[in-house]
Amino acid sequence: MSVKSANIGYPRIGENREWKKVLELFWSDQLSEEQFETEMRELRLSHLRKQKEQKIDLIPIGDFSYYDHVLDTAVMFGLIPERFKKEENQVSLRTYFEIARGSKGKVASEMTKWFNTNYHYIVPELKNANPKLSENRLLKLYLEAKEQLGINGKPVILGPITLLSLSKGIDDQKRAELLTSLIPLYIHVFKELKDAGAEWIQIDEPILVKDVKGETINELKQVYTEFNREVPDVNFVLQTYYESIELYETIIQLPIQGIGLDFVHDEGVNLEHLKNHGFPSEKFLFAGVVDGRNIWKSDLVNQSFLLKEVLNVVQLDRLIIQPSCSLLHVPVSVEKEKELPTQIKDALAFADEKLTEVTMLTEFYNNNLSIAELEQYGHARNLLQHSEYRNVQEVKEAMENIKGYSTERSNTLNRKKVQAERFHLPVLPTTTIGSFPQSKEVRKQRLKWRKGELSDQEYEIYIQNEIKRWIDIQEELGLDVLVHGEFERTDMVEFFGEKLEGVIMTKFGWVQSYGSRCVKPPVIFGDVHCLGEMTVKETVFAQTLTDKPVKGMLTGPVTIVNWSFVRDDISRTEVLNQIALAIRKEVELLEEHEINMIQVDEAALREGLPLKEEKTEGYLNAAVHAFKLATSSVKEETQIHTHMCYSNFDDIIHAIDALDADVISIETSRSHGELISSFEKHHYNKGIGLGVYDIHSPRVPTLEELTQNIERALEVLDYHAFWVNPDCGLKTRGETETVEALKVMVEAAKAFRSKLSIVESV
């Protein structure tokens, strides 16, 4: 009798972001389709080879994607939006990428956050959907791994219940019809995998950790009964992650052979389920005991104790040890981080190291590793815990006196009046979210500076020249409120990660955010505080170049926390408040330098929402408090802005109001204005900008599109409070398309001003 190991998913991007480079070369027509496929195959096989070398028993197949695994599943089953449908027997790469990125005359599919992670998925559109199997991509990938590497892998597919739950464009009746249509297609895929030799198939149903509805029980029984009946000779593992599952007693009785549970992010609930309700002796438990979402070394001794409790319920030979979720959310390997302080580096574990942890725990339970070896592995964690990094007296005193900091501003109406007199803005003022295109030249100059090939003074002059050039462009375009462009910043969170004490940046710690967009989350390893100015110099310089207001641009505490790898020895709320106080200092410094419009972005506020409804208010209260802690010490005339993107805000509109920002900008273009309905039900008396065009697509919007978006917004919003802006920062866009798009946006705003002026004069 022995314990086995498994993995749920592996990062796609490669140690040096090779995946991103291949994608972008293909998109720019520098690689043929054949070259693209060859490069991607080599990368895919290298990932599988690594897992084989790590002695993982059940290696996932099909977790590798060219863009997004939800899109992969939708395309495989012919769930193509109407505007992208073509006469193709098999969906071409061109069509696949058009759905994700848009094309001339065709708006890209909506993109939103994958559960409560920092990963974005493409939302399937199911209006008029007629499912059909276009290609069994899993069979192709399974055979590739088997023939090339001798790996009898574990094919991975997004389950039908989660697929439908994450889609749009269907009501309950249509959902039931589509589910009935999808079941035989899944079965066809599974039968071909079984015939090819697959022994295990992983069906991801993470929707089961949310507050699922009662009818989900019937769907579960329908789907998995048919799967088991039609494909009886394959072992199905129903995989969940990110939280404890709902409907535990129902799920363990389903006719499946394995169940995957997260024992890291479940707050002990999955273990309690196990103890209280038992576990079927004939089933396998895939125990997620290594944190797949954070980058700290596991306390393997503690996790071995957890597994010991599991083994009081589950037979030893029915236990399979794995990460808590796909390793998609962490970087690839710590090995290359040569520049990190040893004390910090030694406490880190990225994807490859987490597979080592899985193997170590498996070896321990197979009596090939001692408890002393597990203890030695955790030594670095203990050293960091007792280091000066986590014992800063100034921060500890601030946290003890946190209630002494003000979090309230004066009446909203008073502030509106004072700010109107201060800024004299036109109706429907135009602005941008903050960043402008980071060209190859900008990145080249930054790299030269980091390598010491440019002096600090030379680099500063270069950045100032870019700021001046874009201030001139904004003036020429006719924008009303300007920004300095953020050319000194690599990323809205990374930049602050480099400025704040207690936070550090890795060199190769990249993770996928959406498409080819990769980010390096800061590592919050110690007590966070600020020693000096972070943004004042560039913002003040920009303001000297124009009479129009220039916004100070900061990232808010909630977003910094949600987009970072956060220390796991104290509560996230305490980390949140530490960062809020650091941002508060910078807000006050900007105001002292007469920057009276300050944008504190909370792009990630909603994505941090707990998956369980009963935990929502606690999170929102902590988030609102941190934002107000960061922004509430300014004068009435200082206008606080914030920005949020890619979320459904219906359920948190009260929290958005409670932030008490003077102006908020929210994405609505890619969700095709659906958010606006929120404001039909909720009176919002502050300034608001609803993003009028999608910056994640390379296409330039038409005047007609922007006119429709503005018209729809003004049906429910007071035009005196309405701002016109893109839906997000413009860093990833090209200069020409950015200027052209903003030109259309300003034209649309001015046309509306003329209409409103005529109406008011009548």
Return binding residues for L-homocysteine.
433-435, 486, 601
β-pair partners for 688: 664, 722
Strand-strand pairing, 597-601 and 552-555: parallel
User: Could you tell me if residue 135 is left (phi over 0), alpha (psi between -120 and 50 degrees) or otherwise beta?
Assistant: beta
Q: In this structure, what token pair is assigned to residue 398? A: 């601030």
Among residues 223, 306, 220, which one has the least CA distance to residue 271? 306
DSSP assignments along 206-268, one per residue = GGGGS---THHHHHHHHHHHHHHHHSTTSEEEEE--SSPPSSHHHHTTSS-SEEEEESSSSTT
Handedness of CA 560, 610, 644, 162 (dihedral sign): positive
Among residues 474, 471, 535, which one has the least CA distance to residue 500? 535
What is the C-alpha radius of gyration for the chain, rounded to an integer number of angstroms?
26
Answer yes or no: are the C-beta atoms of 693 and 738 closer than 8 Å.
no
Residue 558, C-beta contacts closer than 8 angstroms, at least 6 positions apart:
576, 602, 604, 605, 608, 623, 626, 627
Q: In this structure, what token pair is assigned to residue 336? A: 């290359």
Answer yes or no: are the C-beta atoms of 668 and 689 closer than 8 Å.
no
DSSP assignments along 123-189, one per residue = PPB-TT--------HHHHHHHHHHHHH----EEEEE-HHHHHHT-BS--HHHHHHHHHHHHHHHHHH
Answer yes or no: are the C-beta atoms of 289 and 321 closer than 8 Å.
yes
Answer yes or no: are the C-beta atoms of 360 and 376 closer than 8 Å.
no
Q: At what angle do helices 18-27 and 33-53 cross, to 10 degrees?
A: 170
In the set 69, 329, 529, 696, the catalytic residue is 696
Binding-site residues for Zn(2+), in ranges, read 643, 645, 654, 667, 728
Handedness of CA 43, 45, 46, 47 (dihedral sign): positive
Taken as a whole, the chain contains a residue count of: 762
Q: What are the CA-CA distances from residue 156 to residues 139, 186, 239, 760 (Å)?
A: 11, 12, 10, 60
Binding-site residues for 5-methyltetrahydropteroyltri-L-glutamate, in ranges, read 17-20, 113, 118, 517-518, 563, 607
Q: Which residue has the tokens 């038992």?
A: 278
Residue 6, C-beta contacts closer than 8 angstroms, at least 6 positions apart:
56, 57, 58, 59, 60, 154, 286, 320, 321, 322, 358
Q: What are the CA-CA distances from residue 657 to residues 52, 298, 528 (Å)?
A: 51, 39, 28
Residue 173, C-beta contacts closer than 8 angstroms, at least 6 positions apart:
none
DSSP assignments along 290-304, one per residue = E-SS--BPP-HHHHH
Q: Which residue has the tokens 């994958």?
A: 114
Answer yes or no: are the C-beta atoms of 323 and 56 closer than 8 Å.
no
User: Could you tell me if residue 501 is left (phi over 0), alpha (psi between -120 and 50 degrees) or otherwise beta?
Assistant: beta
* Amino acid at residue number 301: V
In the residue annotation, 696 being an active-site residue is answered as yes
∠ CA(740), CA(743), CA(747), 5° rounding?
145
Binding-site residues, in ranges, read 17-20, 113, 118, 433-435, 486, 517-518, 563, 601, 607, 643, 645, 654, 667, 728
Answer yes or no: are the C-beta atoms of 65 and 72 closer than 8 Å.
yes
- Positions annotated as catalytic residues are 696
